[in-house]
Amino acid sequence: MADMNTWQQFWYYMTNNGAYVLSQFMRHFLISIYGVLLAVIVGIPIGLLISRRRKLSSTVIGIANVIQTVPSLAMLSIIMLGLGLGVNTVIVTVFLYSLLPIIKNTYTGMASVDTAIIDSARGMGMTGFQRMTMVEIPLSLSVIMAGIRNALIIAIGITAIGAFVGAGGLGDIIVRGTNATNGGAIILAGAIPTALMAIITDLILGAIQQRLVPKGTRR
């Protein structure tokens, strides 16, 4: 555990380098957001597709599972061979790791809609597209949001190691601390904001997810 002297050094570092830490905090968050947004754009349509063609679900989710099993540092290294050093490598890595929770939760949410509700919508004369956009997706939104929530928390952790490929972010501060003599305070200056980012993001998205739960099923 960090001693009092380390905490004093931490506050001294934050006082004198607060603007730098804030800029890296924003850079870290934006990298995470960009990767997850790309995964949302790609993953939700895939989830919707396999909810309609369920024979494809095991194959698609299996491929996403395989991607998830590759260690993040190894994935960064592989992508770096094609894209080189920098932010783009980290964004693509975040994108790949975010696909599984988004695809799986979209599929699960769509598959869990009560068939009686779908039959009622069909009985009202709704087309397949109308049923999907006006009934199934709204009822699945809380589950889909849970996938996005998980993906963003994973993304924040992955972005932290993006410093190894020159992407910057709070991981860059942590790496500087590991390379410095008595760098515990610098490590804390990178690690504590990273943890706070993950906690605050989880709380905000958790509140949004709760709001998206259909009123009749809320606790």
- DSSP codes of every residue in 118-162: HHHHHHTT--HHHHIIIIIHHHHHHHHHHHHHHHHHHHHHHHHGG
Distance CA 69, CA 177 (A): 29
pLDDT tens, position by position, 27-73 = 999 999 999 999 999 999 999 999 988 889 899 999 999 999 999 88
The radius of gyration of the chain from alpha carbons, rounded to an integer in Å, stands at: 21
Tokens 């730098």, residue located = 20
State the Cα–Cα distance between residues 170 and 160, nearest whole angstrom. Answer: 6
Distance CA 82, CA 98 (A): 20
Please provide the size of the chain in residues: 219
Segment 195-210, tens digit of pLDDT: 999 999 999 999 988 8
Distance of CA 185 to the CA centre of its chain: 28
Band of residue 131 on the pLDDT scale cut at 50, 70, 90: confident
Chain centroid, CA 120 distance in Å: 35
Quote helix, strand, coil % in the chain, to nearest 5.
85, 0, 15
- Distance between CA 127 and CA 212 in Å, rounded? 24
**DSSP state, residue 180:** S
Say if 75 falls within a structural domain.
yes
pLDDT at 3: 55
Assess if residue 114 is contained within a domain: yes
Q: Answer whether residue 3 is part of any domain.
A: no
Compute the average pLDDT of residues 145-163.
93
Q: Note whether residue 167 is domain-resident.
A: yes
For residue 55, what are the CA distances in angstroms to 24, 50, 65, 147?
A: 44, 7, 17, 22
Q: Is 131 within the bounds of a domain? A: yes
Whether residue 109 has pLDDT greater than 50: yes
Contact 14, 189 (CB under 8 A): yes
Q: Per the domain annotation, does 117 fall within a domain?
A: yes
Instruction: Give pLDDT, residue 44.
Output: 95
Number of domains comprising the chain: 1
pTM of the predicted model as reported, rounded to 2 decimal places: 0.88
Share of the chain above pLDDT 90, in %: 53
Q: Is residue 201 in some structural domain? A: yes
pLDDT band at 8 (very low <50, low <70, confident <90, very high): confident
Q: Is the pLDDT of residue 216 over 80?
A: no
**Domain harbouring 158, CATH code:** 1.10.3720.10
Asked if residue 12 belongs to a domain, the reply is: no
Instruction: Identify the domain containing residue 40 by its residue range.
Output: 19-214
